[in-house]
Amino acid sequence: MLSRPESLTESERLRLKTVLVNCPELDALAGHVRPFPQMLTERQGELLPQGLDAVRPHDLPSLHSLAAGIDRDRDAVIAGLTLPWSSGVIEGHPNRIKMLKRQMLGRASFALPRKRVLLAS
């Protein structure tokens, strides 16, 4: 269901169709989830409010929860889906430091992990 429809084999398409026919909730969920990959890859954040509004009338609690979470910071989410800037590089540094910290856990005093973090920069 999360794969690109054109990349599915014929047997996978048939299996997916069978599942969606037998489970109306999953079919509704699939209908709401399908536009999001295009929205993410083609930076179409302006379509997000329409997608969230389409979720509300259906009885899909997990999507209602997702929509409520996005609504709390709607402007930032739309900006993230629309603007070309990314904080990915900045987010990578704390992740790298956490990885180094986990590797050194219980192996040495504070001085060695500190030196390793500073030298890895």
Structure tokens, 81 = 């889906």
The answer to whether 33 and 51 are in contact (CB under 8 A) is no
- In Å, what is the CA distance from 116 to each residue of 70, 98, 105, 107? 38, 12, 13, 13
119 backbone φψ class: left, alpha, beta (φ>0; ψ -120 to 50)? alpha
Per-residue pLDDT tens listing for the chain (121 residues):
777 778 889 999 999 899 989 988 888 888 888 888 888 888 888 888 888 888 888 888 888 888 888 889 889 888 888 888 877 777 788 888 888 888 877 777 777 777 877 887 6
Domain coordinates in residue numbering, the chain: 5-82, 88-120
Per-residue DSSP letters for 61-92?
Answer: HHHHHHHHHHHHTHHHHHHHHHSS---HHHHH
